[in-house]
Amino acid sequence: MTPTPRPSTCRKINLWVNLYCAQYIPLTSKFGERDLVGVIVYEKQNKGNIVRVKSNIEKNTLNPIWNRPVFLEDVVFGSILSFEIIENNKVIAKALYPVQNIPNNKRMTYVLPLITPTLTYSGILRVVCYEGNSAQDVANVIFKFSDLEEKMPVCNNRSRLEITAEKISGTHSHVFWAIVRNKKLCYYQKKHKSEITNNKFIMYFEIENEDFLEIKIIDKNGFHYSDFISFKEKLTTFKRIETDQYVYSLKFIFTPVNKIPPTEILPPECQEFIADDWYTSMDIDVESFIEYENPEKQTSLVTSETFQNFHVEYDCDCITDTIVESCPILNRHYLDKPIKDVISKENNKKIYSFGDSCIVCCGESNQLGVCKAVILNPKNTIKCYLNLNTIDDDIDSMLMTNTHNKVKVIPNTMLDKIIFLEDRLNNNKEKFGIVVGIPGQVSEDEFLSNKEPSPLALEFFNLLGQTIQLKGFTKYKAGLDVVTNTTGTQSLFTEFCQMEIMFHVSTMLQHVEGDDQFLDKKRHIGNDVCVIIFKEGNESVDISSFVSHFNHVFIVVHPVIIDSKELYEVVVVTKLTVKAFRPRFPESKYFQRDSTFRDWLLQKLINGERASLLVDQFIQSQSIARKGLINEIIVSSTQKKK
């Protein structure tokens, strides 16, 4: 590892830089303002040493137009400029450009592709640079309207799609989405017209084999427009969208690989990690809830008070629709074990500690000192790229901290323990609660008082999984006694998408006579994040009767018969701190009693738990446990070295 600061006799230059605009970055909420910060990170020569410096740009709102020149002094000529977009102390997008590609004393405008951690979003950053020393040079980096003519460069062997969209008419605020496979761009159209900023905008995609894109328009009033457009049949195509709410004029310019000029291909340093699966997130994709007037009139499965104290999802219009349909509902990377499956198999791997509660596992580095890395920290596991030459600052940047810690080498002999910890932190086992309510019952205690399931409940159990004998059961037991049957003799178990799922079923758990508070049953169901309420009868369920701090998601399943069809009516209730999650409801809020519903319900439960684990309550408790486990390995490695 090369320490920082490090001595150098590198050439240095002074630069004026202007971040004009970062467009098409992810929306925090469907509609609303942003609090974004632009940050330029560069290497500076200072008294014979090279140090990393951050220069912040003023805060602004959605699609920020910073347009405030920044002076960068003594920039190392052979370094990389990193332009970062930060929201709530988190880097949500970044762009890279080598300083040596900036010409001397010549004003240059760059349209740089933004890299985002998930690669779900595509986007651009407009940058104007000029090598100069005096305050008068600031005029050289003020944005000009002609700068809009600059094309976005792409990676080598990539095509480019340029979309020019102009809103001809329409008065509502809305979001304009353009989607190509798993990448999407969004543009927020405000209500009032503005000739340059709001009515006409340009989007860019770097693409490989796709030959169509999807256009979506969504507004506050629930209006949706969607259309698929082919763009490879002609290099230039036009499209006019006319609805009752808007009129759009669209122009598509497709430039294939063999038509991209060399001047419009990114330098290797900039395209190092673009289109790299390593950046894919291990988190759940979440949506936002949409509030409507008098929602209690839409369903009677829960009390009217529930709508005041919880989020209630009862049909396909209750949550936003911003995640690309082609994105899997269950994030396939959620169960990734990158240390075990990738880092451990690379040559020249390195392991470091960073403070007393952070472990960094690095793969083999390239000629620039850059490597794949996994950061195990109290909050989460981060897959990223780190530069071994600036690893301390890079880790602080990834963790959004300013510790000034220095990495310390951990012997590779500790790798097995780290892999064991990774397995422990990221297992493939789930547990959910099920309570059964018969006609006339509305509260948790009433549901828990039932000793036997009804025929309808048994039908539901058989759809979800198989009834197993607990004694001697060898798979995931979810805290149930598989030796002496103190928690009951049977339970409900299933396997789904390589996960083992155990259900804590109220009618199968041990029923203790005289225990009016049902403490034994609550000991299990009260510790489940997600609970299914199988409710017979037409009474509204009182969700507030569930007082456990762990229960965050309730899915009410109500058997009904409509036009001689046996169906389930479903309502999903979540605490207000939980973000909306997929799968969405189908067009009909009624489900047939078949395997399709089973898959939907299991996906909803799994994602419901994952979304719940993002709330502060769980993050804090998990952080304490993770910190202890990570620290144990760090301390153990220190003792081994002694």
Q: What is the pLDDT of residues 124-174, one digit of tens each?
A: 888 999 988 887 888 888 887 777 778 888 888 888 888 888 888 876 667
- Give domain status of residue 143, yes or no: yes
Structural contact between residues 629 and 424, judged by C-beta atoms closer than 8 angstroms: yes
- Find how far residue 379's CA is from the centre of its chain: 15
Mean pLDDT confidence for 427-436: 94
Q: Give the residue-averaged pLDDT of 12-28.
A: 77
Are residues 455 and 494 part of one domain? yes
pLDDT at 346 over 70: yes
> Does 106 lie in the same domain as 32?
yes
Q: Most confidently modeled of 267-271, 469-473, 509-513? A: 469-473
pLDDT of 477 above 70: yes
Whether the CB-CB separation of 464 and 601 falls below 8 Å is answered with yes
Structure tokens at 124: 């651009």
CATH of the domain at 526: 3.40.50.11210
Nearest to 339, CA basis, from 275, 412, 397, 400:
412
Residues 202 and 230 in one domain: yes
Whether the Cβ atoms of residue 146 and residue 184 lie closer than 8 Å to each other: no
Joined together, the tokens standing for residue 13 give 């230059």
Contact call for residues 85 and 28 (beta carbons, < 8 A): no
Is 304 contained in some domain?
Answer: no
On whether residue 122 sits in a domain, the answer given is yes
Least confident of 331-340, 598-607, 626-635: 331-340
- If asked whether residues 434 and 536 sit together in one domain, one would say yes
pLDDT at 566: 96
Q: Is the pLDDT of residue 27 over 90?
A: no
Which amino acid does the sequence have at 464?
L
Residue 360 pLDDT > 70: yes
Say how far apart CA 216 and CA 209 lie, in whole Å: 21
Q: Is 275 part of any domain?
A: no
Q: What is the pLDDT of residue 197?
A: 44
Q: How far apart are CA 485 and CA 507, in angstroms?
A: 15
| Residue 289 confidence (pLDDT) | 87
Q: How far is CA 270 from the centre of its chain?
A: 23
Identify the pLDDT of residue 5.
37
Q: Examine the pLDDT at 463 and tell me if it is beyond 90.
A: yes
Average pLDDT over residues 491-514: 93
Residue 280 domain-assigned?
no
State yes or no: pLDDT of 445 exceeds 90. Answer: yes
pLDDT band of 7, cuts 50, 70, 90: very low
**The domain containing residue 421 runs over which residues?**
338-426
Q: 143 and 6: one domain?
A: yes
Would you state the pLDDT for residue 149?
78
Residues 226 and 238 occupy one common structural domain: yes
Are 447 and 407 in the same domain? no
Whether 622 shows a pLDDT value over 80: the answer reads: yes
- Measured CA to CA in angstroms, residue 572 lies from 297, 307, 537, 580, 588 at distances of 16, 11, 18, 10, 15
Average pLDDT over residues 69-95: 81
560 and 501 share one domain? yes
Residue 315 belongs to some domain of the structure: no
Are residues 112 and 179 located together in one domain of the fold? no
Summarize the confidence of residues 39-45 as an average pLDDT: 83
Among 426, 451, 470, residue at a domain's last position: 426
- The least confident of 44-53, 126-135, 245-254, 486-495 is 44-53
Report pLDDT for 611.
93
Q: Which of 536, 534, 538 is nearest to 438 (CA)?
A: 536
Spatial separation of the C-alpha atoms in residues 118 and 331, rounded to whole Å: 11
Cα–Cα distance for residue pair 535/557, rounded to 1 Å: 6
pLDDT value at residue 476: 96
SS (H, E, C) 128-145: EEEECCCHHHHHHHCCCH
pLDDT single digits (tens) 450-462: 999 999 999 999 9
Tokens of 69: 């020149």
Q: Are residues 58 and 95 in the same domain?
A: yes
Question: Three-class SS of residue 174?
Answer: strand
Nearest to 355 by CA among 404, 390, 413, 389: 404
What confidence score (pLDDT) does residue 412 get? 92
pLDDT at 29 over 70: no
What SS3 state is found at 249? strand
- Tell me the sheet residues that pair with 619: none
407 and 465, same domain (yes or no): no
529: number of Cβ within 10 Å: 22
Given 426, 455, 478, which residue is the final one in a domain? 426
Q: What is the pLDDT of residue 501?
A: 97
pLDDT score of 43 more than 50: yes
Tell me the longest C-alpha to C-alpha distance in the chain: 87
Amino acid at 364: E
Q: Is residue 311 part of a domain?
A: no
Of these ranges, 91-95, 310-314, 401-405, 513-517, the one predicted with the greatest mean pLDDT is 310-314
Average pLDDT of the chain is 84
- Do 2 and 138 belong together in one domain? yes
> What's the CA gap between 240 and 449, in Å, rounded?
62
pLDDT, mean of residues 180-200: 59
User: Which of 86-90, 337-341, 362-366, 500-504 shows the lowest mean pLDDT across its residues?
Assistant: 86-90
Give the model's pLDDT for residue 95: 86
Residue type, 230: S
Q: How far apart are CA 6 and CA 11, in angstroms?
A: 14
Length of the chain: 642
Q: Residues 278-293: pLDDT tens digits?
A: 766 667 778 888 877 7
Name the token pair of 306: 């529930």
Helix (H, G, I), strand (E, B) or coil at 503: strand
Q: Determine the pLDDT at residue 612.
A: 95
Residue 11's Cα: distance from chain center in Å?
Answer: 40
Of 192-196, 278-282, 372-376, least confident by mean pLDDT is 192-196
pLDDT mean over 379-389 = 86
- Which of 391-397's residues contact partners 24+ apart within 8 Å by CB, and which partners? 391/1, 391/352, 391/360, 391/362, 392/4, 392/354, 393/4, 393/52, 395/354, 395/358, 395/360, 397/41, 397/91
Amino acid type, 235: L
Looking at the structure of the chain, the number of domains it has is 4
Minimal CA–CA distance to 384: which of 603, 614, 116, 622?
116
Q: Output the pTM of the full model.
A: 0.69
Work out the pLDDT band at 191, boundaries 50, 70, 90. Answer: low
429-437 and 407-410: which strand pairing?
Answer: unpaired
Q: At what angle do helices 616-641 and 415-425 cross, to 10 degrees?
A: 170
- For residue range 553-605, list pLDDT tens digits in order: 999 999 999 999 999 999 999 999 999 999 999 988 899 999 999 999 999 99
> What distance in Å separates the CA atoms of residue 227 and residue 236, rounded to the nearest whole number?
18
Q: Where are the beta strands (DSSP E) in 132-220?
A: 159-169, 174-180, 183-189, 200-207, 212-219
Question: Taking a C-beta distance cutoff of 8 angstroms, is the pair 435, 479 a contact?
Answer: no
127's CB contacts (< 8 A; 6+ apart) are: 17, 18, 19, 20, 83, 95, 97, 109, 110, 112
Q: Which residues contact 512 (CB under 8 A, 6 or more apart)?
A: 518, 519, 520
pLDDT at 287: 84
Domain termination site, one of 263, 286, 302: 263
Of 76, 72, 54, which Cα lies nearest the Cα of 8?
A: 76
CATH number at residue 13: 2.60.40.150
Query: Per-residue pLDDT for 470 more than 60?
Result: yes
283 domain residue, yes or no: no
When pLDDT is averaged across residues 28-43 and rounded to a whole number, the result is: 67
pLDDT recorded at residue 532: 98
Whether residue 313 has pLDDT greater than 80: yes
